[in-house]
Structure 1
Amino acid sequence: MANGSRQAAWEFFGLELKRRREDAGLTQVELGLRVFVSGGYIGQFEQAIRKPQLDVAQRIDEALQTDGIFERMWRQLIDDRRYAEYFAAAAELERLATVLCDFEPFVIPGLLQTAEYARAITLASNPFAPEGHIEEIVAARLERAQLLRGETRPLYWAILHETALRVPVGGPAVMARQLRQLTMLSRERHALVLVLPYTAGAHAQMGKSLRLMEFADAPPTAYTEAVYSGNLLDDPAVVKRTRAAYDLLRVAALPPEASLALIESAAEDYERCASTT
Structure 2
Amino acid sequence: MDEPRKSEWVRFGLHLKRLRTQQGLSLNRLADRAEWSATYLGKLENAKRAPNADVVRDLDRELRTNGALLRAWNDVVRAQAALDWYEQSRGYEKRAHEIRFFHPLVVPGFFQTPEYARVIVTHTVPTASEKRIQNVIRTRESWRKDLDTDGGLVLNVILTELALTRPIASEVMREQLDRLIQEAERPTVTLQVLPSGISDLAWLSGAFRLVYIEGEQPLLCAEHAIGEYLTDDEQETRKMETVFSKLQAWALPPDVTARKLGEMRQAL
TM-score, normalised with respect to structure 2: 0.65
CA offsets 1:224-253 (integer angstroms, 9 cap, x no match):
112113211211121111111111111111
Aligned residues: 191
Q: Which moved more, 1:251-260 or 1:121-130?
A: 121-130
d(CA) in 2 for partners of 1:210, 1:133: 24
Contact 1:210–1:224 (8 Å) recurs in 2: yes
Deviation at 1:183, TM superposition (A): 0.8
CA offsets 1:50-105 (integer angstroms, 9 cap, x no match):
xxxxxxxxxxxxxxxxxxxxxxxxx9xx959xx76664532332222110110111
Deviation at 1:205, TM superposition (A): 3.0
Counterpart of 2:157 in 1: which secondary structure?
strand
1:159 paired with 2:154, answer no
Q: Structure 1 residues 96, 118: closer, same or farther in 2, change over 3 A?
A: same
Q: Which moved more, 1:256-265 or 1:85-94?
A: 85-94
1:255-266 aligned within 5 A? 255-266=253-264
Q: Which runs of 5+ in 2 are unaligned?
A: 1-75
Counterpart of 2:132 in 1: which secondary structure?
helix
1:187-226 aligned within 5 A? 187-206=185-204, 208-226=206-224
Contact 1:148–1:190 (8 Å) recurs in 2: no
Counterpart of 2:202 in 1: which secondary structure?
coil
Deviation at 1:190, TM superposition (A): 4.6
**Paired residue type of 1:112:** F
The aligned residue for residue 143 of structure 1 is: 142
d(CA) in 1 for partners of 2:165, 2:83: 26
Counterpart of 1:251 in 2: which secondary structure?
helix
**Paired residue type of 2:120:** I
1:79-228 aligned within 5 A? 79=80, 87-149=86-148, 151-169=150-168, 171-206=169-204, 208-228=206-226
Counterpart of 1:95 in 2: which secondary structure?
helix
Aligned-CA RMSD value: 2.3
d(CA) in 1 for partners of 2:85, 2:200: 28
Contact 1:86–1:228 (8 Å) recurs in 2: no
CA offsets 1:93-141 (integer angstroms, 9 cap, x no match):
2222110110111100011111111111122223223212211111011
Deviation at 1:222, TM superposition (A): 0.8
d(CA) in 2 for partners of 1:101, 1:242: 10
Q: Structure 1 residues 164, 84: closer, same or farther in 2, change over 3 A?
A: farther
d(CA) in 1 for partners of 2:240, 2:99: 13
Deviation at 1:217, TM superposition (A): 3.6
d(CA) in 2 for partners of 1:103, 1:167: 17
Q: Which runs of 5+ in 1 are unaligned?
A: 1-74, 271-277
Contact 1:200–1:252 (8 Å) recurs in 2: yes
Contact 1:196–1:252 (8 Å) recurs in 2: yes
Question: Percent identical across equivalent pairs?
Answer: 25
Deviation at 1:261, TM superposition (A): 1.3
Counterpart of 2:95 in 1: which secondary structure?
coil
Choose 1 or 2 for highest CA Rg. 2
**Paired residue type of 1:99:** E
Paired residue for 2:230, among 221, 227, 232?
Answer: 232
